[in-house]
């Protein structure tokens, strides 16, 4: 069984669009108003943008920290 790459899933617009669509269809199916469904979808997509930003910034910070620690092999002798 293949492991799920949650980092990729949580930053995927398609994933969040599918979640928003599913939730809005549930709201409509249970006789909620279209206005409520639209508001919920907007909240989900705004939350998705925040999650994607946080993950992206975390990855950028981690890459920057890793690059700062790297010492090229020819410079190790000087240390």
Q: In this predicted model, what pLDDT tens digit does every residue of 47-60 receive, in sequence order?
A: 999 988 898 888 88
Measured CA to CA, the distance from residue 19 to residue 41 in angstroms comes to 9
Q: In this predicted model, what pLDDT tens digit does every residue of 15-65 receive, in sequence order?
A: 889 999 999 999 999 999 999 999 999 999 999 999 888 988 888 888 777
> In the chain, what are the domain boundaries?
6-65
pTM: predicted TM-score of the whole model, two decimal places: 0.65
Contact between residue 51 and residue 15 where contact means Cβ atoms under 8 Å apart: no
């Amino acid at each position: 069984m293949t492991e799920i790459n949650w980092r990729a899933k949580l930053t995927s617009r398609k994933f969040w669009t599918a979640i928003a669509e599913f939730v809005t269809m549930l709201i409509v199916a249970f006789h909620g108003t279209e206005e409520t469904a639209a508001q919920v979808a907007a909240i989900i997509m705004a939350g998705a943008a925040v999650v994607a930003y946080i993950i992206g910034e975390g990855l950028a910070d981690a890459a920057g920290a890793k690059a700062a620690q790297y010492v090229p092999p020819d410079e190790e002798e000087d240390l």
